[in-house]
Amino acid sequence: MSTLNVELAEGQLRDLERFAAARKLPVSGIVRDYVEYLLAGGQPVGPPADDEHNSRQLAVIAQRGGSFAWLDDEPDLYSSEDGEPV
């Protein structure tokens, strides 16, 4: 088995350790899994590009697309006590 040494910034290592701990895996296991993913043909994953849409832009796109238009005419909510609209 081969060994690879990689230099990371202090913050990157801390974030990677936190990520691995949340998944109850060693950092080496996270890196190994990612390498296997890439070698199996997976697309590299990186930080979002500056030109990617933020959440506000995505909300505007969804609103203009009409996928949620049915919410404009949603039914009244009824009280469980008297069956009347709230």
C-alpha to C-alpha distance for 58 and 55, rounded to whole angstroms: 5
Determine the Cα angle at 28 with ends 42 and 46, to 5°: 40
Q: What is the pLDDT confidence band of residue 86, given thresholds at 50, 70 and 90?
A: low
Q: 0.85 exceeded by the pTM? A: no
Whether the predicted pLDDT of 48 surpasses 90 = no
C-alpha to C-alpha distance for 30 and 8, rounded to whole angstroms: 15
Dump pLDDT digits (tens) for 34-47: 999 999 999 888 77
Once rounded to an integer, what is the mean pLDDT over residues 3-7? 90
51 falls in which pLDDT band (50, 70, 90)?
Answer: low
Name the token pair of 37: 């993913």
Q: Which one is predicted more confidently, 65 or 86?
A: 65
Question: Domain-by-domain residue ranges, the chain?
Answer: 10-73
Tokens matching residue 71: 């919410």
